Chains A and B, each alone.
Chain A
Amino acid sequence: MTLMTMIMKMSEGLGKTCAIFFLTVLFSLPLGMIVALLRMSKNKVVSAVTRFIITVLRGTPLMLQLLAVTYGPYYLFGAGVARNKLIPVVIAFSINYAAYFAEIYRGGIESIPVGQYEAAEVLGYTKMQTFMRIILPQVVKRIMPSVTNEIVTLVKDTSMAFTVSYQEMFTIGKQIANSQTSFMPFLVAGVFYYLFNLIVDRVMGRVEKRLDYYKG
């Protein structure tokens, strides 16, 4: 197999790699905010349960979580394995990344000085207005570097989908590597991920720059 055919074959999986990436970003970012708010809930039971779930999601391998979401329903209830593996894969990724984003959000929210809340309260902002207008925009700016970090990691983590044989780029590459006993597909995969992250870096850099109009 020539290098060109390898690249062509692996490119066919790039769409699925992108699907995992974009859908996970789309779902995990807002889900993380919900988890963060539950984690900071004044209700001690809610916050303790959320905290426990976060520790499980962050404390066990993503690979294990992928297997659990994909095959768990079969072993537990005898349900069929999803025909389109994209669904369990995106669910597992979104939940896992939401746990990480939740902790980033929490750190960001807790870093906002209490004086911001007090100033808004005295000026008659409602709780909702305070959060949406005063707190959240400042949190977004503060957490941008950490979020970029997670997103860069996500690009590379999409390769983990091979554990459930979802035919994304890396899974195809691994299959070629096995059948051709060649290391070449892994190099190709490495270049793909690097280029992908180069774009991610550019985009996030631009977002950070747009938030640069103020300090503090």
Chain B
Amino acid sequence: MRNTNNNNNNSAEDQRKKESTLTSLDSRFNQTLRNVQGLLKGRSIPGKILLTRRSDPLDESSVQERTPEYERSLSYNEAGSSDHLAKAAEEEVQSTSKLNNNTNVIKLKTSTSEIENTSKEVQKSAMGARATDSARVMKFTKALSGTTVILEKLRELAWSGIPDYIRPDVWRLLLGYAPPNSDRKEGILRRKRLEYLDCVSQYYDIPDTERSDDEINMLRQIAVDCPRTVPDVSFFQEPQVQKSLERILYTWEFNDWELAASYSLLHFIQTRIPRGGGCDRLCWDLNGSGKFDIRSFYHKIRNAAPSSFPWKGIWKVKVPKRVAFFIWTAAYGQILTLDNLMLRGCPLTNRCCENRLPSTLKKNGEYDVKSYDELRSSRNIPFSGKAFGVLECLSILSYAKSVLELLACWHQGVKAWKEAPLFIIWAIRHPASGYVQGINDLATPFLVVFLSEYLEGGADNWSISDLSLENISNLEADCYWCLSKLLDGMQDHYTFAQPGIQRLVFKLKELVRRIDEPVSRHMEEQGLEFLQFAFRWFNCLLIREIPFHLVTRLWDTYLAEGDALPDFLVYIFASFLLTWSDKLQKLDFQELVMFLQHLPTQNWTHQELEMVLSRAFMWHSMFNNSPSHLAS
């Protein structure tokens, strides 16, 4: 779509008529083209046609904004020696940011003196001269100034990098943690932070005796991993930081919205007084009314199924659409739920089945496992009353051979009960995502970014002991919620066997095949599996592969992508991999694995990263809407 835009707008007049959103999209595309054109000059990549850009009218600020980048890019190719170039670029960055700071109306946190401090600092604040340049800062300020932030606009801007000092706010907005409406922001954040504190005291600050075996194992695993998180940044070695990280990660374990849903269900059930409330009585359960009728009896003795598919039980019930869809697919036997896994000889102990629901019941006091067992053993007795629903559903579940069977035999007149089987199937059968090594890495960008609100300077000089307890807990809460929001979009990346990641690895392989056939063929000939190197990329979202000071910039783009992130990751990683396209073709299997697992990115600056992102953006616009493009 972006493609056609480009081709159609030949004259300047046309473009002015375009809506503002289109223009910004277009200009982003053009900017990308510039970057790519500069850096890729002379390299043969498919889609060269795209590189012939039209001369479009640009407003002054954006020319200023782009020129340094563009020139640097050119020099990159011509100079050849990257060492020399890096220095030149640094100097340039230094001079431009100095200039910016002088003219800048807004006081930036990174002051000029700081920038001059060390070369490392320069690299860090480089954010490309672009992110901190005054025009961009103005745009961001404008986008954030209204009472309601237009997220689309913000995403657009954030995609190419966010200035350091507003990054925390922008990230919170992009992740949907802070509301776009600024009036409500304070209140919502306060509530969420309290909620986090509640979770910590409920799940983390309890003696081990109250934890299940799984939970103890998980805590142990997290405790083993926290000290090994970003060991090259000394700040993360502070015991207090590690403790914070541990709390965030462990508490995240419980932030399954599924769990919240089952809690609300139980709450709902508990507050409901059963209709009639009288003594238990026998009732006819072959129809909804509870009264005997010939028809249902006839169907029963004819052994006919009551109805072909229990669509009413799935769609007519007021549960989140996600649950309904899940149950629907499960009912059709299209989901690898436990029974399917069993059939395929892959039994697994599903932790929620063993631990989650019973502990949920236990914590609510009224329903404990013992009474559930007692009830199950005497389930011939017809029950009424509130204990019935959940327990009966559980026991039916343990007898019923399939989801379909369970749904089909679930007849309850009371409205609330209709939800029960769905939630319970969901809670028991839906694979739980849980802490996986590497998620600790994913929490670190949030920690660093939100800490920058409280502490001055670079992460190397930080000490968390400078923070008040309240600030630490707010910081943790922000990290916790943002991590949850980020991972919500990648639910099946961290469930059993990590199907989400496997799917993306496969997509990556396909994309690389389409973009760079020789490399793809060479890798195949060498017997190299994409899973052997790309698994970690997806699992840790590239944090392990690039220097830590570049990660926040990369995440600006991730968060700007929002829900589309998993798909876009494939493009970023393809672009990342093919940075070494020539090199890869010269390596044999073992060299390939070693090379790809220890990529030479230690000296990367923002330039190389921008290059990867720009190219990813370009390929995305080329391929994504035309699946067969170049698929000859």
Do A and B originate from a single complex?
no
Q: Which residues of B contact A (CB under 8 A)?
A: none
